[in-house]
Amino acid sequence: MNVPTKTLSLAVISAVALMGCGKEEPPPPPPVQAPPPPMVIKIGSVAPLTGGIAHLGKDNENGARLAVDEANAAGVTIGGKKVKFELVSEDDQADPKVGNTVAQKLVDAKVAGIVGHLNSGTTIPASAIYNGAGIPMISGSATNPALTEQGFKGVFRVVGRDDQQGPAVANYLATNNKPKTVAVIDDATAYGEGLANEVEKTLKAAGVKVLPREKGTDKTVDWKAVLTKVKGKKPDAVFYGGMDATGGPLLKQARELKMTAVFAFGDGACTDKMAELAGAAAEGLVCSQAGIPVQASGKKFLDAYKAKFKADPILYSPFTYDAANMIIAAMKKADSPDPAKYLPALAASDHNGASGNIKFDEKGDRKDAEMTIFTLKDGKITPLAIIKGGKSLTLDEYAALSAPAPAAAPAQPAAMGGMQGMSGMAAPAPAQPAAMSGMQGMSGMAAPAAAQAPAAPAKK
């Protein structure tokens, strides 16, 4: 069939026109813009995570990790950007050479701050590397005075110094045990030797005879030759400067040799691990910690630690928790993760943390640092007294001292006038465990000048 070309063209035009009258499709929605990724801020954590004191190193790392995780959960904005904190953890194996290597590794990773190291022997040399890179560091456990005597503006610690801890434990020995002769042994590390030096100095000043120094290493587990030599001199007490991994075998072997002297230790061996390493020989030991006891830490921290790690904190995790939180708080206050910008805020910190209020003196040391004396009873390190400002306090007295002041009571109506005498009534103190009964005898203990935690201890 022939259809004229003109008729076909009209049909096509009509069809197109009809199609154009259909419903017009809306334009596609603009693509959803994904939120910008958060700014990642790295915080370094360094401790021995392998070897004989890995349990202490992991405890330190846990404290810092808890602080970082809580900050991320709360959400932090710095410089107008949401941030995510990342904990970069390194194992220094308690070895100064390894410590320097991982310190440089963290510098190269461009961390914005450091929590660590654990040992004075690794912290002191590593601090020079961080200082050279302009990265602030806070140690939660290094106690040798030399750390902050270097004059580095970005180096801090949130525990006391050995020239405060040493006199505290030495003074306790001299006052309560009254030894005439004391043997002093150390592990030849910056920490162990430094603390032993302070103990010896204080004992001599108190008129106690101190035998010539004996030494091991931080790897020594066979102490029988040293102990046999010491036993022949019949000391009334023995002080060991070192960690629990070596202090436990030392105490166990001393009792096997029938030594009856009182054994005392510093914070590195002031742990429940001593009961595991020394067995029944550990009962009754005396030791000190450069800070408050773990059980006196803030309840919020204790509960959060237990919930996250399914264990109780061991020793210095409250302090590394505070250290990490102080770095984060300084960044927030300066509104910058740039170390040069937040360092002044860090130095001027006034932080209420798990281990109490923390302020730094001009050297980077904690002002008015507490010291605690412990004994080991029934397999557990149990506090005897907290020494603060030269005064010896029970755990309850310290808690009362640290508690915030109650709000002023509102005015009472006249009808209640007879009750006003009750408004200042002190709440009854909770019952003290039997192991703390010996604390009362320390209340009159004379504290040597070095134990009074001055704001700026004299240089050695």
Average pLDDT per run of 10 along the chain, which is 460 residues long?
Answer: 48 48 68 82 98 96 98 96 97 97 98 97 98 98 96 97 94 93 97 96 97 97 97 98 96 97 96 96 96 91 98 96 98 98 98 96 95 94 88 81 58 38 34 35 34 35
In a domain, 361, yes or no: no
pLDDT of residue 432: 37
In a domain, 121, yes or no: yes
In a domain, 239, yes or no: yes
149 neighbors 162 (Cβ within 8 angstroms): no
Task: State CA 386 to chain mean position distance.
Answer: 17
Residue 229 and residue 377 share a domain: yes
Q: Report CA-CA distances (Å) from 178 to 170, 175, 342, 444.
A: 10, 6, 49, 15
Residue 277 and residue 195 share a domain: yes
Residue 299 and residue 181 share a domain: no
Number of domain units in the chain: 2
In a domain, 61, yes or no: yes
Kindly report the CA angle at 128 between 45 and 53, in degrees rounded to 5?
40
pLDDT of residue 452: 35
Residue 326 and residue 232 share a domain: no
- DSSP-based three-state secondary structure for 89: strand
In a domain, 116, yes or no: yes
In a domain, 364, yes or no: no
Cβ-count burial 230-269 (b if 16+ within 10 Å, e if not)? bbeeebbbbbbbbbbbbbbbbbbbbbeeebebbbbbbbbb
- By CB atoms closer than 10 A (0-12, 13-18, 19+), residue 423 is exposed
User: Domain range for residue 329?
Assistant: 39-160+294-354
- Joined tokens for residue 362: 């001009």
pLDDT of residue 1: 45
19: CB partners within 8 A, 6+ apart: none
CATH number, domain of 148, equals: 3.40.50.2300
132: CB partners within 8 A, 6+ apart: none
400: CB partners within 8 A, 6+ apart: none
Residue 329 and residue 283 share a domain: no
Residue 141 and residue 68 share a domain: yes
Residue 377 and residue 242 share a domain: yes
Residue 340 and residue 277 share a domain: no
pLDDT of residue 25: 72
pTM of the model: 0.78
In a domain, 403, yes or no: no
pLDDT of residue 407: 53
